[in-house]
Structures are given as C-alpha cells and as structure tokens.
Structure 1
Amino acid sequence: MNNRSILSWSISFILIILFSITAMKSCTRIDAGHEGILVKLYGSDKGVQDVSLVTGRVWYNPLTEDVYQFPTFVQTIDYAPFTVNAKDGSVFTVDPTISFRVIAGQSPKIFAKYRKEIGQITETTLYNYTRDAFRIQFNQYSTDSIISNRQSFEDKVQMALGDALKREGFDLEQMTSGLQYPEVIVQAVNLKNQAVQQAMQVENELKVAEAQARKKIVVAEAEARANDLRQRTLTPLLIQQQFIEKWDGSTPLYGNSPVLFRNVEK
C-alpha cells in the first residue's frame, strides 16, 4: 500500500468519524410536555423559525443551528418575599406563589424576545411582572381598604398579572399573595379581638347574674305566696283538727282543771 492510499484511507476514516459524531449531535428528541424551537446561530436570518417544532425527533445542523425546549406544562414557583408600600405609606410584605404555563405555539416568540431559557425568564422577567402588579395595586389602596377588601384587592392583582403575562406568551393559572400585614396592624387587630372577647365574657357573666337574680326573685315570690296562702287557710277549726291529728293521747293541763280543747279565738 503506497503513501497516497494510506492518506486517502486516513482521510476517509476521519470523515466517517466526523460524520458519525455530527449525525449523533444533529438529532434530538423533544420530550413530552415540551415545545421545541429551532434557533439559527449565524447569518442575517439569525433568530427563531416561524414554525414551532412539535414533540418528537428533530434533525438539525449543529454547526449553524441549535434546538431549545420550552415546557408547556403548568409550573409553580415560590418567589422570595418583598415589601410594598400602600397608598398611605404602610409597608406590607408579599410572599407570592404563581402557577403558569407557556401558551402553546408561543415558545418561538418568547425566545426571540428574551434569548433565554424558561428558567431564566421565570427568575427575572416574570418576577418583575409580579412585583409590578402588586406595586401598582398597592398604590391605589389605603391600609384600611386593603384589610377590609383583601379578596377584591388580590383579585385585581391576579387579573393585572394575568393580562401582563398573556401579552408575553404565558398563561397565569393561579396566584397566592402570601400577604402579611404590618406589625402595627397585627397588634391593633389582636388588641381589638382581645377587647371583643373580654366584652363577650363580661356580657355572659351579666347574663348569668341576671338569671340567678331572677331565679331568687321567683323563689321569693313563690315563698311569699305560699305563706300568704297558709295564713288565709289557718282557721280555728283547722287548727283544732290539726291538734287532734297530732294528739298522742295524753291530756294536756291548762290552769287548774284539765280541758280537751283550748279556745283559740281569744
């Protein structure tokens, strides 16, 4: 075998290896629950193709293109707490949790705008939208109105955040504010609840005392009626009858001579 043949064989071998490596890297599989997008890395048309890649196996040129996957299932993220001022200056703490998903077919638009993967967008862009939604609504409410209309307040925050995310290609499924009142407000509410509980306790004690007093009055009135009835029914004949019923057979002595009955009318 001459040198030219060896060189040709070596080049062919290298090309086969390069082709095999390229073939292995130029194919990827889009996982279920994800949306794949094809990104051009070079040229004036650098960006995202108009058509989103469906779930399945995708072939691409790894030298000039890349494939990203965006999850389309619902994701939940618990952001770190932050503080927001109400209209009257009170400081509230918000510890929000949101559940969202990428709207089907919107992955190319999202990537073309932010040039980031979904994890980075979640930690930056969506977090900023969440803070802004709370900040704007807090600036329209006083402390008292937030406390007395909390459900309405949170509904407006969720609606504003949902509209903002939808414009960016996301669908907001659920939002929990984790709203925490200022410590001064918490103490005031606790003192108010304590005062209400004490007032209820005093009221209950008064009701018990009134009931006991009424009971004593009823007993006294009944005793008085009974005494009055006894006094009206104690006639001389009745007294003599009771005397006979209780007599033990011995003859009582009154004065010098024994008598059976004593005149009770005198």
Structure 2
Amino acid sequence: MGEKVVKMSGPNMSMGKILKFVIPVIILVILAFESLTVVQAGHRGIIVQLGAVKPTVLGEGMHFKIPFIQDIVQVEVRVQKAESSASAASKDLQVVTTNMAVNFHMDPSSVNKLYQTVGMDYKGRIVDPAIGESLKAVVARYTAEQLISKRSEVSLQVKELLSKKLSTYNMMLDEINITEFKFSDEFNRAIEQKQIAEQQALKSKLDLERIKIEKEQTITKAQATAESLRLQRENVTPELVRMREVEVQQQAIEKWDGKLPSTTGGAIPFLNIQK
C-alpha cells in the first residue's frame, strides 16, 4: 500500500511563515526593553543580580542591564525631611517632650551599602530611632531652664551626635531644627511664678535706687544751701553793715519831700547822722 504525501499550501503555509518572523521580533523587542533602564534625576541605581547587590552604583540616565538576571533598585539621594518627637528627662528630672525636624541625604556613592545593610525603610529603622536617642542623650545634660536659655547650644550638640549616628549608615545630616520644647503644666506654672517674682524684685530694686538718688539729691541741695549761708556769714563784716546802713539812710533822704511830720511820735528819717 503506497504512502500518500499531503502538501500544505495556501493560508496555513502563510501563517506559519508569519509566526516564524513575528515571534523572534517580539522576543528581540522584549529583550531590548529588559536590557535598558533609566535612573531618574535625584536618584542612584543599585544593581541586584540574582539576589546579590553589586558594588557598582548607577548614576542618572540610561543604562544597560542583563535581562531577567539583573534588577535595578532606585534610591533617592536628594535632601529628605524627617520629623520626630521624643520625651526624655532633663538633668533636674523634668519630663521634656522635644519636637525636631531633620534634613538629611544619602551618600550617593554608598547607596548600595545602605540598601544591603538596612533596606529601603531607612527612616523607620535608622533615622527616627537615631533622632530619639540623640535627643534623650543631650536633654539629660541640661536642666529644664537651661534647655530654654541655651537652645542653640543644645541644637549644636544634638546635631553633632545625630550626624555621627547617621554617618555609620552612609547618610549625611544637613540640618536640624528643634521646633518646640514641651514641659509639664507644673513646670510651666513654676516658670511663670518665677518670672513674676523676678519682675517684682527688679521693680523693688529700681524703686530703692530711685529713693536713694532722690535722698542724695536732697542732701546735696541742703548742703549747698548751708554752704551758701556759711559763705554769706563769713563775708558780712562791720564795714559792710555800716555801708548798708548808710545806703538805707541815703535812700530815705532821697525820698523825703522836705516836710516835717504833722504829728509827733513818727519816725524821722534823719537818724544816726555822723557829725
């Protein structure tokens, strides 16, 4: 019995040829897309190859990678902000709640190490705990009143301590800002009463100084008057007295109209005339 050979022709043959052409093209397109990656501005790319972090860090722009073997994890290296609040005991055992804002950024050349040791949740794992630890350590060095009066000094010490903690994980501290110190109601009342007492003491001191100055002015004025009288007494001589008497009599003569008084017993203006 002879074999029959069936030859395929027509539409089936054409579809097969199309698939043979299209499938490789699709595969090539997929490979091309999988071979390219773009690192966005303000980020760095971490190469993860089969679960292992590679030492090379990718900068911004387009890069090639091995399809299906390498993955690129992008980490932001721009300045980031973290806000935290921590309660701690001051040197005089006052409970102080401190609110602080922190600006920081990743070391662009070491983001692979950060990803390898910490992961992407670096704020929750590193930054927030480091802020709390730094605040508690520094607040314990000062009394509650000193935290207010030496705020800039406190901020500087917190910044130095926090910077050391973050640098351990390849993060750079840019700036901190202690936004608020919150104290207990009892402490706030004590501070208010102290301020009132200080103001009253200052007023009393100023009143005493004013009274003292007024007293000194009165004494000085009295002394000046007494000194003036003393000098006048020292300058009064018998000759001066006689001169004043002559002046008085001369004035009386000048005023006399030449008529004698019509009644006796009146004062005659010509008295004590020297012969």
Query: Does the 8 Å contact 1:97/1:177 carry over to 2?
Result: yes
User: Aligned-pair distance for 1:93?
Assistant: 1.0
Is 1:68 matched with 2:69? no
Change (3 A) 1:224 1:87: closer
For 1:7, the equivalent position in structure 2 comes to: 16
- TM-score of the superposition, structure 2-length normalised? 0.74
Change (3 A) 1:163 1:238: same
User: Aligned-pair distance for 1:152?
Assistant: 5.5
User: Aligned-pair distance for 1:64?
Assistant: 3.5
Of 100, 114, 117, the match for 1:113: 117
> Could you tell me which amino acid in structure 1 is paired with residue 201 of structure 2?
A
Identical positions, percent = 19
- CA RMSD in angstroms comes to 3.5
Query: Does the 8 Å contact 1:162/1:172 carry over to 2?
Result: yes
User: Aligned-pair distance for 1:236?
Assistant: 4.0
Of 55, 60, 63, the match for 2:60: 55
> Could you tell me which amino acid in structure 1 is paired with residue 164 of structure 2?
D
User: Aligned-pair distance for 1:214?
Assistant: 2.5
> Could you tell me which amino acid in structure 2 is paired with residue 180 of structure 1?
F
How does 1:68-217 map onto structure 2 within 5 Å?
68-73=73-78, 75-86=79-90, 89-116=93-120, 120-138=121-139, 143=144, 153-178=154-179, 180-183=181-184, 184-217=186-219
Distance 1:207 1:141 in 2: 35
How many residues align structurally? Answer: 256
Query: Does the 8 Å contact 1:92/1:179 carry over to 2?
Result: no
Distance 2:14 2:196 in 1: 99
> Could you tell me which amino acid in structure 2 is paired with residue 182 of structure 1?
F
How does 1:17-32 map onto structure 2 within 5 Å?
17=26, 19-24=28-33, 26-32=35-41
Structure possessing the higher radius of gyration over alpha carbons: 2
For each residue in 1:112-152, what CA deviation from the matched residue of structure 2 results, as whole angstroms up to 9, or x when unmatched? 22332xxx322442112221232344456665776676665
Distance 2:208 2:23 in 1: 101
**Structure 2: where are the runs of 5+ without partners?**
1-9
User: Aligned-pair distance for 1:49?
Assistant: 0.8
- TM-score of the superposition, structure 1-length normalised? 0.76
User: Aligned-pair distance for 1:106?
Assistant: 1.1
Distance 1:208 1:62 in 2: 90
Distance 1:161 1:257 in 2: 110
Distance 1:249 1:94 in 2: 96
For each residue in 1:208-252, what CA deviation from the matched residue of structure 2 results, as whole angstroms up to 9, or x when unmatched? 222223323333333344445556637243144145347762368
**Structure 1: where are the runs of 5+ without partners?**
none
Is 1:244 matched with 2:250? yes
Distance 2:252 2:109 in 1: 111
Distance 1:240 1:217 in 2: 39
